[in-house]
Copies of this chain bind each other. A is one copy, B any other.
Amino acid sequence: MKIGELAKRGGLTAHTLRFYEKKQLLVPQKSALNQYRDYTADDLATAQFIKRCKASGFSLEDTAALLQIKDAKDAHTCAEAKSITLAKRADLQAKITELQQMVATLDELAERCCGGAESAEFCSIIADLESRFEECNHDAHH
Protein backbone atom coordinates (compact mmCIF):
# COMPACT_ATOMS: atom_id res chain seq x y z
CA MET A 1 0.00 0.00 0.00
CA LYS A 2 1.07 3.62 -0.49
CA ILE A 3 2.00 5.96 2.30
CA GLY A 4 -1.40 7.64 2.47
CA GLU A 5 -3.19 4.39 3.00
CA LEU A 6 -0.82 3.23 5.71
CA ALA A 7 -1.19 6.61 7.38
CA LYS A 8 -4.95 6.32 7.39
CA ARG A 9 -4.96 2.72 8.54
CA GLY A 10 -2.32 3.30 11.17
CA GLY A 11 -3.73 6.55 12.47
CA LEU A 12 -0.71 8.71 11.77
CA THR A 13 0.37 11.08 9.03
CA ALA A 14 2.47 10.52 5.94
CA HIS A 15 4.86 13.12 7.32
CA THR A 16 5.31 11.09 10.47
CA LEU A 17 5.89 7.91 8.48
CA ARG A 18 8.64 9.60 6.46
CA PHE A 19 10.10 10.85 9.72
CA TYR A 20 10.11 7.33 11.16
CA GLU A 21 11.80 6.14 8.01
CA LYS A 22 14.51 8.76 8.39
CA LYS A 23 14.97 7.47 11.95
CA GLN A 24 15.19 3.90 10.60
CA LEU A 25 12.14 2.77 12.58
CA LEU A 26 10.05 1.76 9.62
CA VAL A 27 11.74 1.47 6.23
CA PRO A 28 9.44 0.24 3.46
CA GLN A 29 10.25 -1.06 0.01
CA LYS A 30 10.14 1.37 -2.85
CA SER A 31 8.31 0.76 -6.07
CA ALA A 32 10.87 0.37 -8.85
CA LEU A 33 8.37 2.04 -11.14
CA ASN A 34 7.85 5.42 -9.53
CA GLN A 35 9.87 5.40 -6.30
CA TYR A 36 6.70 5.50 -4.24
CA ARG A 37 7.00 3.84 -0.83
CA ASP A 38 5.31 0.43 -0.83
CA TYR A 39 4.18 -0.72 2.60
CA THR A 40 3.18 -4.28 3.50
CA ALA A 41 0.79 -5.58 6.15
CA ASP A 42 3.87 -6.22 8.29
CA ASP A 43 4.79 -2.58 7.96
CA LEU A 44 1.34 -1.66 9.25
CA ALA A 45 1.91 -3.97 12.22
CA THR A 46 5.22 -2.26 12.83
CA ALA A 47 3.57 1.15 12.70
CA GLN A 48 1.13 -0.03 15.34
CA PHE A 49 3.97 -1.45 17.41
CA ILE A 50 5.57 1.99 17.34
CA LYS A 51 2.33 3.63 18.40
CA ARG A 52 1.99 1.25 21.32
CA CYS A 53 5.55 1.93 22.38
CA LYS A 54 4.79 5.61 22.33
CA ALA A 55 1.60 5.16 24.33
CA SER A 56 3.61 3.17 26.88
CA GLY A 57 6.02 6.05 27.35
CA PHE A 58 8.96 4.78 25.33
CA SER A 59 11.09 7.25 23.42
CA LEU A 60 11.79 6.70 19.75
CA GLU A 61 15.25 5.52 20.74
CA ASP A 62 13.76 2.94 23.12
CA THR A 63 11.33 2.02 20.40
CA ALA A 64 14.15 1.45 17.95
CA ALA A 65 15.75 -0.97 20.42
CA LEU A 66 12.44 -2.78 20.96
CA LEU A 67 11.94 -3.03 17.22
CA GLN A 68 15.33 -4.65 16.87
CA ILE A 69 14.29 -7.25 19.41
CA LYS A 70 10.96 -7.77 17.70
CA ASP A 71 12.56 -8.16 14.30
CA ALA A 72 15.23 -10.61 15.45
CA LYS A 73 13.75 -12.25 18.48
CA ASP A 74 16.17 -15.15 18.68
CA ALA A 75 19.14 -12.82 18.64
CA HIS A 76 17.82 -11.11 21.78
CA THR A 77 16.64 -12.01 25.25
CA CYS A 78 13.78 -11.32 27.59
CA ALA A 79 16.32 -9.66 29.87
CA GLU A 80 16.94 -6.97 27.25
CA ALA A 81 13.28 -6.20 26.80
CA LYS A 82 12.62 -6.17 30.51
CA SER A 83 15.63 -3.98 31.17
CA ILE A 84 14.41 -1.36 28.71
CA THR A 85 10.96 -1.53 30.26
CA LEU A 86 12.12 -1.20 33.84
CA ALA A 87 14.56 1.58 33.01
CA LYS A 88 11.77 3.53 31.40
CA ARG A 89 9.53 2.82 34.35
CA ALA A 90 12.16 4.25 36.66
CA ASP A 91 12.58 7.33 34.45
CA LEU A 92 8.89 8.02 34.45
CA GLN A 93 8.54 7.42 38.15
CA ALA A 94 11.32 9.90 38.85
CA LYS A 95 9.62 12.41 36.62
CA ILE A 96 6.34 11.84 38.43
CA THR A 97 7.96 12.41 41.80
CA GLU A 98 9.51 15.63 40.55
CA LEU A 99 6.19 16.84 39.19
CA GLN A 100 4.39 15.90 42.40
CA GLN A 101 6.80 18.02 44.38
CA MET A 102 6.09 20.91 42.05
CA VAL A 103 2.36 20.41 42.45
CA ALA A 104 2.80 20.42 46.24
CA THR A 105 4.70 23.70 45.99
CA LEU A 106 2.05 25.20 43.73
CA ASP A 107 -0.65 24.07 46.15
CA GLU A 108 1.12 25.85 48.98
CA LEU A 109 1.41 28.97 46.87
CA ALA A 110 -2.22 28.90 45.80
CA GLU A 111 -3.69 28.04 49.18
CA ARG A 112 -2.26 31.10 50.86
CA CYS A 113 -3.39 33.51 48.17
CA CYS A 114 -6.82 35.12 48.25
CA GLY A 115 -6.98 35.15 44.47
CA GLY A 116 -9.08 38.28 44.56
CA ALA A 117 -9.22 41.45 42.52
CA GLU A 118 -6.96 43.21 45.01
CA SER A 119 -3.67 44.70 43.96
CA ALA A 120 -0.87 42.17 44.04
CA GLU A 121 0.97 44.42 46.49
CA PHE A 122 0.48 41.91 49.27
CA CYS A 123 0.03 38.81 47.12
CA SER A 124 1.43 35.85 48.97
CA ILE A 125 2.34 34.02 45.77
CA ILE A 126 4.60 36.81 44.61
CA ALA A 127 5.93 37.29 48.14
CA ASP A 128 6.72 33.61 48.47
CA LEU A 129 8.50 33.54 45.15
CA GLU A 130 10.47 36.60 46.21
CA SER A 131 11.51 35.27 49.57
CA ARG A 132 10.97 31.61 50.17
CA PHE A 133 14.36 30.38 49.05
CA GLU A 134 16.17 33.33 50.51
CA GLU A 135 15.22 31.88 53.85
CA CYS A 136 16.61 28.56 52.71
CA ASN A 137 19.82 30.30 51.77
CA HIS A 138 19.98 31.95 55.17
CA ASP A 139 19.63 28.53 56.72
CA ALA A 140 22.38 27.25 54.48
CA HIS A 141 24.79 29.74 56.01
CA HIS A 142 24.54 28.13 59.44
Interface positions of A (Cβ within 8 A of B): 45, 48-49, 51-53, 55-57, 66, 69-70, 73-74, 76-83, 85-86, 88-89, 92-93, 95-96, 99-100, 102-103, 105-107, 109-110, 113-121, 123, 125-126, 129-130, 132-134
Please report the C-alpha to C-alpha distance between residue A66 and residue B123 in the assembled complex, in whole angstroms: 11
**How many chain copies does the complex carry?**
2
Please report the C-alpha to C-alpha distance between residue A52 and residue B77 in the assembled complex, in whole angstroms: 45
Set of chain B residues within 8 Å of A103, measured between Cβ atoms: 57, 89, 92-93, 96
20 contacts between A and B (CB under 8 A): A57-B102, A66-B125, A66-B129, A69-B123, A70-B129, A70-B130, A73-B126, A76-B120, A77-B119, A78-B113, A78-B117, A78-B125, A79-B115, A82-B115, A82-B125, A83-B115, A85-B109, A85-B125, A89-B103, A95-B99
